[in-house]
Amino acid sequence: MSGITARYWREIPRRYRGEAVKSVKTGKVYFPSRLVEPGNGNRKFKPVKLEYSGELLTFTIIRIAPRGFEKQGPYALGIIELDGGGRITTQIVDVPLEEVKIGMRVRVEFRKISDDGDEGIHLYGYKVVPER
Amino acid sequence: MAQEGKIGIVGYGSYIPRYRIKLEEIAKVWGADAGAYKRGLMLYEKSVPAPDQDVITMSVEAARRAVVRADIDPARIGALYIGSESHPYAVKPSGTVVAEALGATPDCRCADFEFACKAGTEAMFVAYSEVKAGVVTYAMGIGADTSQGAPGDALEYSASAGAAAFLLGKKDVLATVDFTAAFMTDTPDFWRREHAFYPSHGSRFTGDPAYFKHTLGAGRKLFEVSKTKPEDFRFAVFHQPNGKFPSRAAELLGFNKKQYETGLLSPWLGNTYSGASPMGLTAILDVAKPGDRIFMVSFGSGAGSDGFVFTVTDAIKGKAKMAPQTRPQLDENKFYLDYGQYAKFRGKILMAGGS
């Protein structure tokens, strides 16, 4: 066990439910949430939930996976522009790697990200799958 | 046992993983006769969860779909119960994760249920009862499993993965719960001791004294309390550990194939344990019309059965299309695994340095 439990718990609202903020000034969605908007110093935001569909902006294939993800490799990791605004970086799963394409439509699913060793907690969050 | 009322299902959802393994692929490894399983048990292939899926993740997806169909604010869900025999934790609820992901916390009752394959319908019954008692406005009952069969055991051909979620309430009910029945005894036909990775079972003993006695027992009781006959129902759905048992139980109770085939998913899905008859019910609700009556009997080893009589209302119109439907999830976009990939996905390979 690594002691990740408290950090993971603090991130539950965004990892489980996609809680984000929208700038009252520019209408831009920030995920993870920000306290100050870059470029204009705005501090007024309203809470929003991310829309769970979007488009793949770019991706890479991870062939040498980091610790805790060794058995998952090779896997696709991408940046997704969500329909209601906001971007997420996450794994693209349930798809053969050769079918991952920039511009593909995806939707967010709830998945297990990793385990904290053999006796620690299960860490859950979001990944994307092709829209079917 | 008998209840009349306007309480019932206000939203439903199912989730089936995309991965599959064919019976031939498993039989090949163990030198078994795949043809005998296909003919004898009416099983062709089964779903396999991806390595990043478990009861919690599938329950979240099924429950989100139920909330979409119900079109309510999830904060109003006052209770959430998941029935499963493969909860990811031995100690720590699955339901808290699911409720948090839905946005139902903190005003929400929660506990995980376990009763082999019957835990899902028991979760539905408790959710229904709490709404009926007026304790909560909405309650969620979920049946989900990612069950394991020991390598080479008969159960390895059927143990599969899936989840079905039902939101119970009293406003805009799409299928009313008209009657319920329960039939339960202590029958050790299937079990898993603590720390055992795979379950054990009583082989042929799981048939007559367990599955059929309880399924038929609850089914007959349900006819009695509801004063109905098989011909009063458009659909009937039963616990489906394979294709053969539910077909035989249906026919012994007087139903014909047309009545039970819509809810019979196991030949191509496998046995989703706590999810089995609930998933069959979602496939029925996807195609049901106002006025249709549905007869449902679950079964869980240990052993017991829950029975429900539902009547579909006008509120069903347009609901199926609001979220992914069950049959297309079962029939489309499948990825077939070979046994090696399947063994890796299911953690059946002994790794160096632990899992």
Q: Is the pLDDT reported for residue A3 higher than 90? A: no
Q: Is B195 a catalytic residue?
A: no
E strands present in chain A: 19-23, 29-30, 45-49, 53-62, 75-82, 87-92, 105-115, 122-130
Mean pLDDT of B233-242: 98
Give pLDDT tens digits for B114-127. 999 999 999 999 99
Residue count of chain B: 355
pLDDT of residue A74: 96
Q: Indicate if B117 belongs to the active site.
A: yes
With respect to residue B189, please indicate whether it lies within any of the assigned structural domains: yes
Report the greatest alpha carbon distance in chain A.
47
**Residue B206 pLDDT grade (very low, low, confident, very high; cuts 50, 70, 90):** confident
Query: What secondary structure does DSSP assign to B278-294, as a single string?
Result: HHHHHHHHHH--TT-EE
CB B10 within 8 A of CB B127: no
pLDDT in tens, B249-301: 999 999 999 999 999 999 999 999 999 999 999 999 999 999 999 999 999 99
pLDDT for the residue B353: 65
Q: Specify the 3-state DSSP secondary structure of A83.
A: coil
pLDDT, tens digit (0-9, with 9 covering 90-100), for A12-49: 999 999 999 999 999 999 999 999 999 999 999 999 99
The answer to whether residue B134 sits within a structural domain is yes
Mean pLDDT of chain B: 95
Give domain status of residue B112, yes or no. Answer: yes
Angle subtended at Cα B13 by Cα B11 and Cα B19, rounded to the nearest 5 degrees: 180
pLDDT at A68 over 90: no
The structure tokens 């049959």 sit at B327
Collapse the DSSP code of A98 into the 3-class scheme (helix H, G, I; strand E, B; otherwise coil) and give the result. helix
Q: Which of the pair, A1 or B66, is modelled with greater confidence?
A: B66
Please name the amino acid found at residue B75.
Answer: A
Token readout for B64 is: 């989100």
Beta-bridge partners for B163: B15, B144
pLDDT of the residue at B354: 56
Tell me, yes or no, whether B354 lies in a domain: no
Question: What class does CATH assign to A6-130?
Answer: mainly beta
- CA torsion, points B116, B66, A15, A49, in degrees to nearest 10? -170
Comparing C-alpha atoms, which of B127, B139, B174, B159 is closest to residue B282?
B174
Contact B83, B115 (CB under 8 A): yes
Domain limits at B270? 8-345
Residue A32: asked if its preceding bond is cis (omega within 30°), the reply is: yes
Q: What is the rounded average pLDDT for all residues in chain A? A: 95
Q: Looking at residue B319, which CATH number applies to its domain?
A: 3.40.47.10
Q: Using pLDDT thresholds of 50, 70 and 90, give the confidence band for residue B3.
A: very low
**Going edge to edge, which strands form the sheet with A29-30?**
A29-30, A19-23, A45-49
Average pLDDT over residues B62-68: 98
CB contact under 8 A, A112 and B103: no
Q: How confident is the model at residue B334 (pLDDT cuts 50, 70, 90)?
A: very high
Helix (H) or strand (E) holding B28: helix B23-30
Q: Do residue B54 and residue A112 have CB atoms under 8 angstroms apart?
A: yes
B351: in domain = no
* Residue B350, domain member (yes or no): no
How many domains in chain B? 1
Helix (H, G, I), strand (E, B) or coil at B71: coil
Residues 10-49 on B with a CB inside 8 Å of A are 18
Distance from CA of A111 to the nearest CA of B (A): 5
Read off the pTM.
0.96
- Does B83 score more than 90 pLDDT? yes
pLDDT of residue B4: 43
Asked whether residue B353 is domain-assigned, the answer is no
Nearest to B57 among A17, A110, A118 (CB): A110
Inter-chain touch B52–A110, beta carbons under 8 Å: no
